[in-house]
Amino acid sequence: MVALRTSAGRKAGARQFSKSWKQYQNQNNQESPAPKGFGSRLRFALRNTKVEWYPIPVGLGIGLLGILHFYKSQRAEQERREREAEDEIINPPPRHRIKPSGPWQVQIMSTLPLKAISRLWGRFNELELPVFLRAPGFKLYSWVFGVNLDEVEQQDLRTYPNLAAFFYRRLKPGARPLDPDTHAVISPSDGRILQFGLIERGEVEQVKGVTYSLDALLGAATPSHADHSKKFTDHSTEPSQKDAADMAADEEFARMNGIPYTLPTLFAGDQGGARHRSASLDASTGSKAAAEAEVKADLARGDGAPWYAPKPKSNNALYYVVIYLAPGDYHRFHSPVPWVVESRRHFAGELYSVSPYLQRHLPGLFTLNERVVLLGRWRWGFFSYTPVGATNVGSIKVNFDSELRTNSLTTDTAADMAAALAAKRGEQYPGFVEATYLHASRTLKGHPLQRGEEMGGFQLGSTIVLVFEAPMGTRKSFDAGYQEGKREGGWNWTIEMGQRIKVGEKLGYVDTEK
């Protein structure tokens, strides 16, 4: 039998054997008239009412208990689902890792926690050294790795607090003069030429006989302007005098370097366009994200050519050059040409060594490693600049991108989360996170860089891959004075395989002589 709690009035004939002060007050309250307010009456009733229990039918009690149990189980299931969803967001599963094939040395290296080792090495490099150890320690490092201390800006080596500061050292002004040929592409860094040549069928040669796909290096998806609202936002419709001056400078930069640009309406802004658009009726309905992505990719392919391919009628081609930076080289990198950086892609990959040995034995090395792909344009068309990370490279820095974080747990977790969300939507994870510099310049729609301007640097030696579009030109016939390797009106290399090169030296040039 189930008991139900009810209340009844106190029996008048109950005898009390003792009386406390509280009972005396209760008795006085009973003798006094009941209060008139609802709250007062409620408190009075609760204080002066005896609780009694009465039985209810067994079926009603069982039904009540069943309802309570069902409610609690449903609530527990909902909390479990919410908790699992939060765990997926906070602790996403790791991305699928590509297991490289190769000799046993490569197999062993693929099992090592190279990213964690690189983070620890970066922490070690940031430890402050005792003043008396700095000069002899840096001189020993310079002797081992061939650093020219005469070029260092700070001749007093004691001013460098740690190894990281010495790795990222500046050079004296004029230590790296730029080649005077304005039609040349200059070296973006000190280092050694690993590979260079013409890109055919979308393949880049890593070493002789070993190639990798350009889609894998740069990303197959067409560059978008996603997430640009979070950075470089500009809400003004009428530019200030400073904006107008900046736009004039950008126009001059584009005109001098032959870069196409658009001139926005200075005084009307976007208001006229907004009024014109508001006059028409918007009859559109929502579309599926998966359908949009598929159609967008299909339209971008057009005739089947990738997004970075030159236009068929332009007689242009894609060229590439790979420069390896040794631990003793100058670690900052510079702009090889005047160009506009439109977007950035961060591939949070592995951190294998980029030594010549591993390049010979690990196909697609640069497509596996963490890298920052800068995409843009120069006077001849497409231009890309890719600093590639390596083992013990603490980070890749880009001076005009304060949000970029490389070789960190935060970016790895963000990449895992993006991959998990893409899988949940039934989409394929592109492998990178994209940001845009669309609002860096209202005229150029990107971040302009001058020839030789410092762009960033590595925390140790690594690799830079340049891929750019340039005219192919034509070869002279034997009767017209044929020269081997010389193309009239097109791109010509001036470097050799394995050559040592420094910032500002000529990699090649576009022959503009008629």
Report residue 139 as tokens: 């001189």
Q: How many CA atoms lie within 13 Å of 89's alpha carbon, on the beta-carbon side? A: 6
User: Residue length, the chain?
Assistant: 514
> Is 462 annotated as catalytic?
yes
| Active-site choice (179, 329, 331, 334) | 334
Residues 6 or more apart in contact with residue 219 via CB below 8 angstroms: 345, 347, 373, 430, 431, 432
- Is position 190 annotated as part of the catalytic site? yes
What does the block give as tokens for 4?
Answer: 């139900």
Cα of 229 vs its chain's centroid, Å: 15
Q: Is 258 left (phi over 0), alpha (psi -120 to 50) or beta?
A: left
Choice among 187, 353, 395, 462 that is catalytic: 462
Q: Which of 118, 179, 190, 250 is catalytic?
A: 190
According to DSSP, residue 159 is labeled G
Rounded Cα distance between 509 and 495, Å, is 11
In order, the DSSP letters of 28-63 are HHHHSPPPSSHHHHHHHHHHSEEEEEEEE-HHHHHH
Cα distance between residue 208 and residue 48, in whole Å: 99
Q: How many CB atoms lie within 10 A of CB 262?
A: 9
Q: Which of 322, 121, 47, 86 is nearest to 208 (CA)?
A: 322
Q: Which tokens go with 232?
A: 């470089």
Q: Is 225 a catalytic residue?
A: no
Question: So which residues are the catalytic ones?
Answer: 190, 334, 462
